[in-house]
Amino acid sequence: MSAVELDERLVPGGAPAERLDKVVAGLFGVSRARAREWIAEGRVRVDGKRAPKGSPVQAGARISVERPPPDQPAPQPELPIRIVHADAHLVLADKPAGMPSHPLKPGERGTAANALVGRFPELAQVGPSPREGGLVHRLDSETSGLLLAARTEAAHSMLRAQFTARAVDKGYLALAAGEIHAGGEIALPLLHDPRDPRRMQAASDATYAAEHGARAAVTRFLPIERKSGFTLLEVEIPTGVMHQIRAHLAFIGHPLAGDALYGGPDLPGLPRHFLHAARLAFRHPDGSRARYESALPEDLERVWTTL
C-alpha cells in the first residue's frame, strides 16, 4: 500500500454511534463502497487502530485515512511524446515504444496519459475512466505510433462511438516472419490463452469461441515488400482486440519480427516487436474528415533498411 496523503478528522460531538463505513463515507465525502475499500485495504484508523467496517464509531472518535493516489494520471509534461495535432476537440500524439498508454493502477507514472495530462490538464477530467486521461483507444506498450485523446466529453463520446462502430481507419506497418505474396483477411475471434494469460489466442472453432467468450476480430493485410525472409505489411484492423495483429499473424504462421511472446524471430538491433500505428482516419468532431499519418520511427526504419 502506498499512501500519498494522510487525512484526519473527528466525529462531531453528539453524533449517534454509526457503522465505520458510513462514518468514513460521511466524513470524507466518498461512497460507502469506496469507504469499504479503504477499510479493507487497511487505510482507515479509529483512534489509531484498525477496525472492521461494521464496528460502531462514537462521537469524538478520531478517524484517519491514508488516501490512495488519485485515479487521474499524474501530470508529467517532461515525458518524451510528440504531439502530431491538437485543437479544441482532440489531441493526437505519436507514442514511443516502451511507453504504456495509460496507468493500470493509481499512482503509476511514465505513461502516455501522464505525458498528455501534463500538457493538456483538462484531459484528466474526460472520459468514464479517470486513469485513461481522455484516451479513446490504446496501443500495446511496445507498439509505437498514433494515439488519440479527446479534450471534451462530447468529443470523447463521438470518437468512441466511431471506434465501437468500426468506422475508424486504423493502419499499421508490421514486419512479419516469412514471405507473404498476397494480401488477405483473418476473421477469427480472440480470447485469452488459458495456458498463458499474457497471450491472446485465435479460436477457429465457433463453438469453442462462443463458450469461452472470444471477441470478434478482423485483421486485413497487404504485403509491401519482402526482404531476407521477412515481409513488410500494411495492416488494417476495423476491430480493436488486445494483441490482435500479433495473435492473428502468429496464427497463420507469420509472427511479428521481435515478438518473442508469439514466437517471432529475433533481429539484430530490434529490442521489441516490429509494429507501428501509422495511420488514423476518422470523422472529426467539427464534422470534417480527418486523416493523420506517422512514419516508421528510427529504430524500426534502421532495422528495415539494414535487413
Instruction: Establish whether 169 is a catalytic residue.
Output: no
For residues 284 and 151, the answer to whether their CB atoms sit within 8 Å is no
Angle between helix 32-40 and 20-28 (nearest 10): 110
User: Which grid coordinates belong to 194?
Assistant: 488459458
Could you give the 3-state DSSP secondary structure of residue 3? coil
Select which of 21, 94, 140, 259 is catalytic.
Answer: 140
Q: Where are the beta strands (DSSP E) in the chain?
A: 5-10, 18-19, 44-46, 56-57, 62-67, 82-86, 90-95, 144-150, 169-177, 184-187, 190-192, 200-202, 218-227, 230-236, 275-283, 289-293
For residues 157 and 136, the answer to whether their CB atoms sit within 8 Å is no
The DSSP 8-state label assigned to residue 256 in this structure reads B
Alpha-carbon distance values, 66 to 6, 50, 58 (Å): 5, 12, 21
Q: Which residues are catalytic?
A: 140
